[in-house]
Structures are given as C-alpha cells and as structure tokens.
C-alpha cells in the first residue's frame, strides 16, 4: 500500500463532466445532481483508509440528504485489483448500505480530470460546480472516537449555508489510485 496525499487541486476548478455506470444499474452524470453542493469521493473497496471512513461517509451523506449530493467513484485498475471490480463494488455497496451512488470509472478518465491521486480523495463543489473544498474528511482517519475536527462536514455546512469553507484545508491521504499500465 503506497500512502499518498491529495494534490490539493486549485479552489475554483470546475467539476469535470462525467457519465459513469453505477452499481445500481443506471448511468449517472454530473448534471444528475441538483443540490447546492456536490461531494465527489474517489474511493475503492480494498483500501484500508477507505474501509476506515466509509461508514462516516455514509452517515455524512444521510445527514446532508437533499442539501448536498454525494457520489463515489472507483477508478482503480480492476484487472490488477479484482477486489475493486464492478461486481465487487456492487457487493460492497449492498453490504455497507451506501446511500449514495457508487460509480465505476473503468477508463480512469474521471479520476484524471478531477486530479485525484489517492483513495479516499474528496472534492466538494458549490452550486455552480466549482471546487470549494478538497481535503480530508477529518483529523483521524483510523479512530473515529478520537476525531476532534470534522473538516469535510464543516465545509459542507458552510456551503449549504451559503458561506465559503475555511481557507485552511488539509490534504486527504490514503492508498494511491491503482492506475492501469500503459501499453
């Protein structure tokens, strides 16, 4: 497992357009989401960092339902990492009871367009779909009981209240995205 930190894409960067298959059997596009804030999470099944925070992410999606849409995207190479295959994604989403769409970026183009490098990597966009927050979920990925700062929650709250998130943002960290080998 190669530990990476997010690249901290510039604030104001537009959300790339995408159309990807979801584990729910439908195609999802960026423009299918209409709330004032859109949280795009690049994640996967096998990463221990994702496994440690996915229940918190699910709770966050429930807490902000109707005010902030959440969508998760898996861009990992499923040939090299079969536990991140579309079928495995479907099983994990069902087992964990994800309340957000979980999409497959098989060609990895959306992860590249987002500037994602790790799992999880969080990108929060405002109503005009420009980046307002990119950083970590909170200050303790491993031990939820020891969290003292819920930065992503605070950023979403600010956005849905019409305020900008705090300017100081700390990078997310996790496993590197498993990029496909170029021929």
pLDDT per position as a tens digit, 24-38: 999 999 999 999 999
Is the confidence at residue 114, as pLDDT, over 90? yes
β-pairing, 19-21 vs 27-29, is antiparallel
The two tokens of residue 113 are 């367009």
The dihedral built from the CA positions of residue 100, 19, 170 and 155, taken in this order, carries a sign that is negative
Whether residue 79 has pLDDT greater than 90: yes
pLDDT over threshold 90, residue 140: no
pLDDT at 11 over 90: yes
Answer yes or no: is pLDDT of 45 > 80. yes
Considering the chain, what is the average pLDDT of its residues?
A: 95
Residues 97, 80: contact at Cβ < 8 Å?
A: no
Whether the per-residue pLDDT at 173 is higher than 60: the answer is yes
Global pTM reads: 0.96
3-state helix, strand, coil in the chain (%, to 5): 30, 25, 50
For residue 141, pLDDT beyond 70: yes
Domains defined for the chain, CATH in brackets: 34-176 (3.40.30.10)
Distance, in Å, from the CA atom of 107 to the CA atom of 111, rounded to the nearest integer, reads 9
Q: Is the CB of residue 95 less than 8 Å from the CB of residue 83?
A: no
The CA distance from 104 to 127, in Å, is 24
**Residue carrying the six token digits 């009871």:** 97
Residue 21 φ/ψ, nearest 5 degrees: -75, 140
d(CA 10, CA 112): 14
Percent of the chain scoring above 90 in pLDDT: 91
**pLDDT mean over 143-172:** 94
pLDDT at 157: 97
Q: What's residue 66's pLDDT?
A: 96
């Amino acid at each position: 497992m190669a530990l990476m930190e997010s690249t901290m894409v510039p604030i104001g960067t537009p959300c790339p357009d995408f159309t990807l298959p979801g584990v729910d059997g439908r195609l999802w596009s960026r423009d299918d989401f209409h709330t004032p804030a859109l949280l795009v999470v690049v994640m996967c099944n096998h990463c221990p960092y994702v496994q440690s925070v996915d229940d918190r992410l699910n709770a966050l999606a429930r807490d902000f339902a109707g005010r902030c849409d959440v969508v998760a995207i898996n861009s990992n190479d499923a040939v090299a990492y079969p536990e991140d295959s579309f079928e495995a994604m479907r099983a994990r989403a069902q087992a964990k009871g994800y309340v957000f769409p979980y999409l497959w970026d098989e060609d990895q183009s959306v992860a590249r367009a987002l500037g994602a490098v790790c799992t999880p990597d969080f990108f929060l966009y405002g109503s005009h779909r420009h980046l307002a927050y990119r950083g970590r979920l909170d200050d303790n990925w491993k031990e939820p009981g020891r969290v003292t700062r819920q930065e992503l929650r605070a950023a979403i709250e600010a956005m849905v209240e019409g305020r900008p998130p705090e300017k100081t943002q700390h990078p997310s960290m996790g496993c590197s995205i498993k990029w496909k080998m170029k021929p």
